[in-house]
Chains A and B, each alone.
Chain A
Amino acid sequence: MSAPGKPRRPAALLPPDHARDRPLFAVAAILVFLASLAGFGAAGAWQAAEGWTAQLSSELTVQLIAHDARDADADAVDAAAQIARLPGVIEATARSRADAEALLRPWLGGAGLPDDLPVPRLIAVRIDPDAPPAPGAIEALLGGNPYEVVVDDHARWEAAVQRSAGTVRYFALGLVAILALAAGAVIAFAARASLAARWDVAEALHLVGAPDRFVTGIFQRRFFFLGLKAGLAGAGLAALAGYALAHGAGAAGAVFFLPVPALGWTAAAIAPGAALASALIAALAARLAVTGELKARWP
C-alpha cells in the first residue's frame, strides 16, 4: 500500500538553532576577519621584504673621502665614469656636495656646512644582481687615486631588512595560528553546548544503531557550513577593509603591509583560503568535541 502524500524529503536530523548559531556566527566571523588581516600582513611583509631585498642587492654606494684640497666633485665624476665601465655595472652616478649635504641635513641642521669641512662624495652604482662586479673590483679600480674609497654593498642593510620583514611575517603567521586556535576552541565549546542541547537527538540515533561517526557527522556538517558562512563573511569584510585601506592610507605608503593588486595571487588566495580554513577548523573542532562527549557519556 502506498499512502498518499508521503513526505518526499527527510527532515534534517539536527534542527536549526538560530538562537545559538547567531552569536557563534558573529564570533567566528570576527576571528576570521582578524586572521585574514593578519594573513594579509604576512603576505604584505613577505612581498615587501622581497622588494626591498631586490632593490638593495641591485645597488652599491661608493664613498670618496678626499684628504687634501682637491676638487672632490671632479674626482667623483671621474670615478663614476671608471666604475660604469666595469663588468656587471649598469649605471654609476656621481652625487654632488649639495646632494651629500642634503643627506647630512637631518643630523647637522639646515644652516649650511663650513666650506672647509671635508664632505665625502657619493657615487650611486646600479649593478646587475644576477652578475654583479667581482668583490673588491671597485676598490682595486680606484685604489691608486689620492683619495680613500669605501664601498657599501648594502649587505648589512639587506640582512636587517630581511630580519625585520621576517619578524613581521612570523608575528602575523603566529597571530593567524592563535586566532585559528581561538576559533577552534570557541567552536568546540559551541559544539558541546549544541550536543548538550540536542542530546535527545544523539541518544535516539545511538539507540537505533547509529555509529558514533553518524552522530558526529551531523554535528560536523552543521558546524562546517556555519564555519564556511562565517568565514566568507569575515574574510570578505577583511578583503574589503584591506582594499580600502591599501587604496586610501596605503596609497600614501602608510600601511605597506596591506594588499594591493601588486601582491598578486598569494594575497588573493587568502580570503577564500581563510573561509575554507574556518569551515575545516569548525568541522574538526565539532568532530573532536562531539566524539569526546559521546565516548564520555557512553563508554
Chain B
Amino acid sequence: MTPNPRPAPDLNRARDPAVRFDSVGLRYGRGPEILSDLSFDLPSGSFHFLTGPSGAGKSSLLRLIYRARQPSRGLISLFGRDTALMPRSALPELRRRIGVVFQDFRLLEHLTVFDNVALPLRVAGQARASYADDVADLLSWVGLGERMHAHPASLSGGEQQRAAIARAVISRPELLIADEPTGNVDPAMGRRLLRLFVELNRLGATVLIATHDITLVRSLEAPVLELADGRLVSRPRAA
C-alpha cells in the first residue's frame, strides 16, 4: 500500500491526546445512562483495545468518538478540540481524520468493492487515477484482489468485513476505530488484519479496537480499556 501524502504534523497539536473523555455520560432520550463517568485519554499514536461484554456500551462509546452521538454530559475532545464546540461545518474535516470499521460493515450494495473502498478518497475529491493503484493494492493485501469488481451482496461476511476495513484505512486516517473487526474472519486473516492495524499505528495513527476476542487482545502488548455496565472498570496506565 502506498501511503498518501499527508501534511507535516503540527508539533503543538501532536501533544494533545487524539481522544480525551472527561466525565462523559450518555443516555438515549429519557432512558437510563448507558455510559457513565468515562474519563480517559488515547494519546496520539497509541494503540488500545476496548473490551467488555455485549451491552457494556462499546459501540456507543465508539459512536461518541466518531461523533455520531453527542454526550449527555461531560467533555469529549478530539485532536485537542472540544467536540461540543465544534461547528457542524467542521465535522467533515474531522471525520476525514477518522477511519471507522463498523460492526455491520455499512458497505453500499450498489457499489463494487473497489468503489466502496475508494469512497473516502472520492469524497475527498481525489482523482480516480491517483488512488486506483492504492485501492487495488490494499484490496490485494486484504485478500480481495480478485473480488474488487464484486458487489457486497455476493461476498461472505468475512470478505465484507475486510472490505470495510480496507475502506476505513485507505485514506490513512490519524485515528482508526474498529468495532469487532475480526469477528467474521478466520484466525489467520484476523492476525493479518491486526498486522495492518499495527502497521498503521507504526506510521503514526492512533488505533482503538473494540473486540470480544481475548486471543486478539493477548496477541499484542497493548493497553486495554474495559467496559462493564457503561463504566470503565480498567483503564490504561498513564503514559
Contact = CB atoms under 8 A, between A and B. Distances in A.
Interface stretch (B17-25, B88-96, B223-231): B88-96
Interface string A1-20: 11101110011110100000
B133 interface: yes
A170 interface: no
A12 B110 CA distance: 9
B92 A207 contact: no
Contacts of B145: 3
B148 to A, nearest CB: 7
A205 interface: yes
A1 B137 contact: yes
A208 B140 CA distance: 22
Given A3-B139, A204-B107, A298-B91, 5 more contacts: A12-B110, A204-B119, A207-B66, A209-B124, A298-B88
Main secondary structure of the interface of B (DSSP, over half): helix
B100 A207 contact: yes
A200 interface: yes
B18 to A, nearest CB: 16
A3 B148 contact: yes
The interface centre, meaning the residue of B88, B108, B118, B124 with most chain A CB atoms within 10 A of its CB, is: B108
B136 A208 contact: no
A2 B136 contact: yes
Contacts of A2: 132-133, 136
B40 interface: no
Contact of B96 (A13, A209, A295): A209
Contacts of A214: 92, 123
Interface of B: 66, 68, 88-89, 91-96, 100, 106-112, 114-115, 118-120, 122-124, 128, 132-133, 135-137, 139-140, 145, 148-149, 167
22 contacts: A1-B140, A3-B133, A3-B139, A6-B114, A6-B133, A6-B135, A6-B136, A6-B148, A7-B112, A7-B149, A10-B122, A10-B128, A11-B111, A11-B115, A200-B106, A205-B123, A207-B106, A208-B167, A209-B94, A209-B95, A209-B120, A214-B123
Contacts of B95: 206-209
A69 to B, nearest CB: 95
A90 interface: no
Given A7-B149, A200-B106, A208 B120 contact: yes
By Cβ-Cβ distance, the 9 closest A-B pairs, closest first, are A209-B96, A3-B136, A15-B110, A209-B95, A208-B120, A211-B92, A210-B123, A209-B92, A1-B137
Nearest to B116: A204
A160 B122 CA distance: 63
A178 B145 CA distance: 55
The interface centre, meaning the residue of B94, B115, B139 with most chain A CB atoms within 10 A of its CB, is: B115
Contacts of A6: 114, 132-133, 135-136, 148
Nearest to A1: B137
A203 B63 CA distance: 13
A10 B115 contact: yes
Nearest to B168: A208
A186 interface: no
B112 A208 contact: no
A201 interface: yes
B89 A211 contact: yes
B136 A1 contact: yes
Contacts of B119: 204-205, 208
A11 B110 contact: yes
Interface in A5-48: 5-7, 10-13, 15
The interface centre, meaning the residue of A2, A7, A200, A208 with most chain B CB atoms within 10 A of its CB, is: A208
Contacts of A200: 106, 108-109
Contacts of B91: 298
The interface centre, meaning the residue of B106, B123, B128 with most chain A CB atoms within 10 A of its CB, is: B123
Contacts of A201: 108
A208 B123 contact: yes
Interface in A247-299: 295, 298-299
